[in-house]
């Protein structure tokens, strides 16, 4: 129970079988109290019901955790809501020790000429600016806790293989994930003095609910079946399969552990060897 007594916030964790749920479950299994955070309901055209964690589903995810869990609806595009999420963790569970920026938009993918200004802003606002708001809010609480004797913390962004390489129809997505690399490199320098580590986890494709949509989209773009698309994907991965939610969750758990206390400013690939740099 290496995270007993720790409290973790995971944004974008309100959907069943998603990356966020897998991360929350892995930390909960090791003793952490977890906050299941998601947007709670559609706010605009960029956050359709089919792609977000609604409040009812968030509660079901929280109830399925093996340990203490609560829910909090939060639009990561709003810094006030993000600070309120951090405050909820402390008020409900007693502290804030782990913050995972997992919320993201990976379903606005179009040819270059069809990407609107609104499309671009929606992706950047959630994937990059939202992660910045989360990092800032978590750091403020963790630094204050350090003054009271509870020093340190772990902040992790779920980036992507797209933080290292480009992909068709993913200009804003790729730009947002590349931005996370620079964000952790700079933030880790400032937060190291407080014992706070800041890292990215960069998974390759994972077939969650969002991943299923991506499979169908790119198979259609290439004019092949989803089955063939998945076979082609597996063939280019040295370990012979796409990623699983648990692969990303295990990497997060490692970076949250004492064993990773000297690792910061890094962007760890979890890609079965597909992404080598």
Contact 202, 239 (CB under 8 A): no
Query: DSSP of 144-211, one letter per residue?
Result: HHHHTT---EEEEEE--GGGTS--TT-HHHHHHHHHHHHHHHHHHHHHGGGTEEEEEEEE--B-SHHH
Contact 9, 35 (CB under 8 A): yes
Give CA–CA dist 102/91, Å, rounded: 22
Contact 255, 156 (CB under 8 A): yes
Name the maximum alpha-carbon separation found in the chain.
Answer: 59
No. of helices (H) and no. of strands (E), the chain: 9, 7
Name the nearest CA neighbour of 154 among 181, 122, 192: 192
C-alpha dist (Å) from residue 88 to 67, 83, 232: 17, 9, 44
Q: Is 107 a catalytic residue?
A: no
What DSSP element (H or E) covers 137?
Answer: helix 130-147
Of 107, 173, 229, 262, catalytic = 173
Contact 243, 271 (CB under 8 A): yes
What DSSP element (H or E) covers 274?
Answer: none
Query: DSSP of 227-252, one letter per residue?
Result: HHHHHHHHHTSTTSS-B-HHHHHHHH
List the catalytic residues: 173
């Amino acid at each position: 129970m290496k995270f007993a007594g720790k409290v973790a916030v995971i944004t974008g964790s309100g959907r069943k079988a998603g990356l966020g749920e897998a991360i929350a479950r892995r930390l909960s299994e090791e003793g952490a109290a977890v906050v299941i955070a998601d947007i709670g309901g559609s706010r605009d055209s960029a956050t359709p019901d089919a792609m977000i964690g609604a409040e009812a589903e968030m509660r079901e995810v929280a109830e399925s955790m093996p340990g203490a869990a609560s829910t909090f609806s939060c639009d990561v595009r709003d810094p006030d809501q993000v600070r309120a999420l951090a405050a909820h963790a402390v008020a409900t569970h007693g502290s804030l020790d782990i913050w995972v920026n997992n919320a993201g938009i990976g379903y606005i993918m179009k040819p270059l000429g069809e990407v609107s200004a609104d499309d671009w802003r929606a992706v950047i606002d959630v994937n990059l600016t939202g992660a910045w708001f989360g990092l800032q809010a978590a750091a403020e609480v963790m630094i204050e806790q350090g003054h009271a004797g509870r020093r340190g913390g772990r902040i992790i962004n779920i980036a992507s293989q797209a933080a290292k390489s480009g992909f068709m129809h993913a200009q804003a997505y790729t730009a947002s994930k590349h931005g996370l690399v620079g964000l952790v490199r700079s933030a880790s320098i400032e937060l190291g003095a407080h014992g706070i580590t800041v890292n990215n986890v960069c998974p390759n494709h994972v077939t969650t609910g969002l991943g299923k949509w991506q499979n169908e989209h790119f198979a259609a773009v290439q004019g092949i079946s989803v089955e063939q698309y998945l076979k082609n994907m597996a063939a280019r991965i040295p370990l012979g399969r796409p990623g699983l939610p648990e692969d990303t969750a295990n990497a997060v758990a490692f970076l949250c552990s004492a064993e990773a206390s000297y690792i910061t400013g890094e962007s760890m690939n979890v890609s079965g060897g597909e992404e080598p740099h």
